[in-house]
Amino acid sequence: MEIPDPSSRCPVREQRARWERKRACTARELLETERRYQEQLGLVATYFLGILKAKGTLRPPERQALFGSWELIYGASQMLLPYLEEGHWGQGLEGFCHHLELYTQFAANAERSHTTLQEQLKKNKRFRRFVHLQEGRPEFGGLKLQDLLPLPLQRLQQYENLVVALAENTGPNSPDHQQLTRAARLISETAQRVHSIGQKQKNEQHLRRIQALLSGRQAKGLTSGRWFLRQGWLLVVPSSGEPRPRMFFLFSDVLLMAKPRSPLHLLQSGTFACKALYPMAQCQLCRVFGHSGGPCGGLLSLSFPREKLLLMSTDQEELSHWYHSLTLAISSQKN
């Protein structure tokens, strides 16, 4: 038996072979997952959207608020899949990129969609009965409508991972290399925009929740336009006397200290009164003790032009989280 000469190995051919194997594996995964994705899009379009239209269970504005650009996204998948099945990856994905704006629109509508679903399930008996009936179909495998609605945004993340991998493992001399590279860039840019939209929506939810917790004339508009970072109880250590527990809300530009209202207060029980706002741009932060990660907690010093705060926690891990969040807020104001 002839033993291959190690010197006859060609690193370039071996690298190309590895690329081709990874490309084939990624292409197969993209195709198989696209088939399943299109099937799920079609189920929702048929058993929810189509029947809701026919029955008139929801008015058109409510139906649009709930499903957004779902049908158009379904159509885009129907156009993409034949190209993937025939192996025309570059051509198919290049054409698909013309529909990426649908995913941005879908993301922008996500919070409205969630709110509409919850409202209609609560107040519309016909709709509630209809949804329960459709969710019981075997085709949905036990998934609820609220589980199905985020599918396009989940799929966009899969598109990014798979198309980027497909482009990276396509040789520069391949006829569809430029198409795949361009598609990977456009999909990644869209995924980043969608992520930013999601982050803004979550932040707005936090701001509304915090604003509802604050009471009194001074609380009006305190959270407007801010970026929420963290909240929690900390002990304020005075120059004399016992430490006092206070609720702190940290935003990108200010630290808000609040005191709980008396539980005996008829109208404002369970809310907080704003006691002070500290600008992060003027803050000097120092960890007095609590560096070692021991069980005794720690102490943070926050210095402002007219005041100094000593904040204590008996939870070392919690204090570390606060230290890092405060550091982030301070650095964001100095950039």
Amino acid 151: pLDDT: 97
Residue 216 zone, left/alpha/beta (φ > 0; ψ -120 to 50; rest): left
Q: Reduce the secondary structure of 233-282 to three states and give it as a string.
A: EEEECCCCCCCEEEEEEEECCEEEEEEECCCCCCCCCCCEEEEEEEEHHH
Task: Kindly give the residue spans of alpha helices, DSSP state H, lying in 2-109.
Answer: 11-44, 51-55, 60-67, 70-85, 89-96, 101-108
Cα–Cα distances in angstroms (integers) from residue 200 to residues 10, 103, 108, in the given order: 51, 16, 10
Amino acid 324: pLDDT: 95
- Whole-model pTM: value is 0.83
Amino acid 3: pLDDT: 57
Closest C-alpha among 140, 9, 27, 145 to residue 90 = 27
pLDDT (tens, 9 = 90+) of the chain, 335 residues, equals 455 555 556 776 776 777 788 889 999 999 999 999 999 999 999 999 999 999 989 999 999 999 999 999 999 999 999 999 999 999 999 999 999 999 999 999 999 999 999 999 999 999 999 999 999 999 999 999 999 999 999 999 999 999 999 999 988 888 999 999 999 999 999 999 999 999 999 999 999 899 888 876 666 777 777 899 999 999 999 888 899 999 999 999 999 999 988 776 556 667 898 888 999 999 999 988 755 555 557 899 999 998 999 999 988 889 999 999 999 999 988 76
Matching residue, tokens 């048929």: 46
CA–CA separation, 53 and 31 (whole Å): 31
Amino acid 74: pLDDT: 98
Instruction: Give the burial class of 186: count Cβ atoms within 10 A of its Cβ; 0-12 exposed, 13-18 middle, 19 or more buried.
Output: middle
